Amino acid sequence: MFKTAKVHDVAKGEDTIQGTGVLVDRMWPRGVAKSDLAYDEWFKDVAPSPELRKWWNHDEDRFDEFARRYKAELDDNDSDELAQLRALADATLLFAAANRTVNHAVVLKEWLEEHLRK
């Protein structure tokens, strides 16, 4: 089972990691010291490409199209990191986006759950 959690909440103790804590952002989150975040893995290769992230720019009106494009990237992603993530039975996907419901970790969670059913 996969869960999403904002790194800032986890670092402050306002949310907890379930299973393996996996940071799924390409860059380290601003305002969080590495020593303040208890995580197990940092899988940069599962994050959206820089081009897609820049195109989207966290614009809620573009979220559906972003999700479609990001899932297509994931379909074509043959990285070891994505394979390791898919193999986890229980993990918390850690993200730094301000919006807790409109972000790439939510899309990644949905994609993982769809592919685990297959």
Residues 27 and 41: their CA atoms lie apart, in Å, by: 13
Tokens 């860059």 correspond to 27
What is the reported pLDDT for 89?
83
Instruction: Quote the domain boundaries for residue 84.
Output: 2-117
Q: 14 Cβ partners below 8 Å, 6+ apart? A: none
**Quick one: pLDDT at residue 41?**
97
Cα-based distances in Å from 111 to 23, 62, 67, 74: 16, 18, 9, 8
Averages of pLDDT over each 10 residues, the chain, 118 residues: 95 94 96 92 97 96 98 96 93 96 97 83
Predicted local distance difference test score (pLDDT) of residue 64: 97
pTM of the prediction?
A: 0.94
Q: Report the number of distinct structural domains present in the chain.
A: 1
